[in-house]
Homo-oligomer: A and B are copies of this chain.
Amino acid sequence: MEQLQYHEGRTEISHLGRVALVDRLTAGTACQGDDCAVLGTGKRRQLATVQTLVEGVDFDMMYTPLRHLGYKAVAVALSNIAAMNGTPRQVLVSVAVSNRYSVEALDELYAGIHLCCKRYDVSLVGGDTASTRAGMVLGVTALGDVEADRLTLRKGAKRNDLVCCSGDLGSAYAGLLVLEREKVTYQANPDFQPDLDGFDYVLERFLKPEPRTDIVEALRQRGVVPTAMTDVSEGLADSLLHLCRASGVGCEVYEERLPIDYQTSRVCSEMGKNMLPVSCALNGGKDYELLFTVDQKDYGQVKEMEGVHIIGYVTEAGMPAVMVTPQNTTIELVAQGFSRQ
Contacts and interface: CB of A to CB of B under 8 A. Distances in A.
Contacts of A196: 1
A156 interface: no
A97 interface: yes
A138 to B, nearest CB: 10
Contact of A53 (B46, B127, B130, B143): B130
A276 to B, nearest CB: 26
B29 A123 contact: yes
A89 B53 CA distance: 26
B66 A4 contact: yes
A221 interface: no
A126 B11 contact: no
B124 A26 contact: yes
Contacts of A137: 52, 54, 96, 132, 137
Given A6-B107, A10-B102, A103-B13, A29 B125 contact: yes
A104 interface: yes
Interface of A is mostly: mixed
Interface in A95-119: 96-97, 99, 101-108, 110, 114, 117
Contact of A200 (B1, B99, B341): B1
Contact of A102 (B3, B13, B28, B143): B13
A28 to B, nearest CB: 8
Which of A12, A26, A66 has the most CB atoms of chain B within a 10 A radius of its CB?
A: A26
A24 B103 contact: yes
B99 A14 contact: yes
A128 interface: yes
Contact of A54 (B21, B36, B58, B131): B131
A141 B48 contact: yes
A213 interface: no
Contacts of A102: 6, 9-13
A129 interface: yes
A143 B37 CA distance: 11
Contacts of A56: 132-133
A90 B37 contact: yes
A103 B11 contact: yes
A56 B130 CA distance: 12
Given A10-B102, A25-B110, A130-B340, 7 more contacts: A1-B196, A9-B104, A14-B99, A25-B129, A26-B124, A50-B128, A54-B133
The 3 closest A-B pairs by CB, nearest first: A37-B125, A37-B126, A11-B103
